[in-house]
């Protein structure tokens, strides 16, 4: 897992196996660019494949988590940042180019987050709009600072929530509330987001990262194989029939029941102690 400063963000590793990604251009409200999204996708691929990483945490610097795409048109300064992937044409010059740009450059970030087997946490420190909003919703857990605000707001520009926001919000809120949310350009406070079910917790700003990292450590110490399989099965269940969901969880249970973590869980229960999972990962380390 590469640590360091990349285009628009930096990566740090923390025990026990937590990859912390911090969007680090606060003067631009951590607005995203196509090269930045490609590098974030590559980082998520490294998180997926590196056994040293168990949980991903994403946060922002300054007063924004991410205020959407950087629409300023101003050039970005590299300032020592590494490029993980080479630049490619951005598309968007005509209708088919926009279609291809969305499918191959913009949407893959949220696809990568949703496809990540390992659990992810969005620590929403401030404004989360458009790309930033859908990126946060693509994570498994969302903790918001009390002053954070979030929404889509794309219709204010005559644009669409084209990176999957309409799916993610509808999945969380249902059709009627999603319709109200998008059509009325709602940007909600952290408290309102909690009430709607868009975030899991709201904490004072000064406690945000401590709480996010504590949750990450809790998740990292859990039985990783069962948790990753269960995450995938929960996502599948949202789009499956009951019969398909039963088959899916049965197939995954056939893996988890025979894993050493399951044996440890049973022994720990009988001995009335917390389970000590993930010996298989510690051996690799």
pLDDT of residue 283: 76
pLDDT of residue 77: 66
Whether 127 shows a pLDDT value over 60: the answer reads yes
pLDDT tens-digit profile of 149-187?
A: 999 988 888 889 989 999 999 999 999 999 999 999 999
pLDDT of residue 194: 98
Percent of the chain having pLDDT more than 70? 97
Mean pLDDT of the chain: 94
Report the CATH number of the 4-220 domain: 3.90.226.10
Domain ranges of the chain: 4-220, 224-284
The topology under which CATH files domain 224-284 is: Lyase 2-enoyl-coa Hydratase; Chain  A, domain 2 (1.10.12)
Whether 75 shows a pLDDT value over 80: the answer reads no
pLDDT tens-digit profile of 36-69?
A: 999 999 999 999 999 999 999 999 999 999 999 9
In which band, very low, low, confident or very high, does the pLDDT at 24 lie, cut at 50, 70 and 90? Answer: very high
pLDDT of residue 148: 98
pLDDT tens-digit profile of 220-259?
A: 999 999 999 999 999 999 999 999 999 999 999 999 999 9
- Tell me how far apart the alpha carbons of residues 178 and 197 are, in angstroms, rounded to a whole number: 12
Q: What is the pTM (predicted TM-score) of this model? A: 0.94
């Amino acid at each position: 897992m590469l640590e360091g400063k990349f285009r628009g963000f930096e990566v740090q590793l923390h025990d026990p196996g937590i990859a912390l990604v911090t969007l680090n251009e606060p003067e631009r409200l951590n607005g995203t660019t196509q090269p930045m999204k490609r590098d974030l996708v590559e980082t998520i691929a490294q998180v997926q494949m590196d056994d040293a990483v168990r949980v991903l945490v994403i946060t922002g610097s300054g007063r924004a988590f991410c205020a959407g795409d950087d629409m300023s048109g101003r050039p970005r300064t590299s300032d020592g940042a590494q490029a993980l992937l080479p630049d490619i044409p951005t598309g968007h010059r005509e209708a088919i180019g926009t279609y291809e740009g969305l499918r191959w450059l913009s949407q893959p970030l949220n696809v990568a987050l949703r496809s990540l087997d390992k659990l992810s946490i969005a620590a929403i420190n401030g404004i989360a709009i458009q790309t930033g909003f859908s990126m946060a919703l693509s994570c498994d857990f969302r903790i918001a600072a009390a002053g954070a605000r979030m929404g889509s707001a794309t219709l204010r520009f005559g644009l669409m929530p084209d990176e999957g926001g309409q799916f993610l919000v509808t999945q969380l809120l249902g059709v009627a509330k999603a319709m109200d949310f998008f059509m009325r350009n709602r940007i909600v406070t952290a408290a309102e987001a909690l009430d709607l079910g868009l975030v899991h917790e709201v904490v004072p700003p000064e406690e945000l990262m401590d709480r996010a990292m504590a949750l990450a450590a809790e998740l990292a110490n859990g039985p990783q194989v069962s948790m990753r399989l269960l995450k995938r099965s929960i996502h599948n269940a949202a789009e499956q029939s009951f019969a398909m969901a039963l088959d899916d969880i049965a197939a995954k249970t056939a893996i988890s029941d025979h894993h050493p973590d399951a044996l440890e869980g049973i022994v720990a229960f009988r001995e009335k102690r917390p389970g000590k999972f993930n010996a298989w990962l510690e051996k690799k380390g």
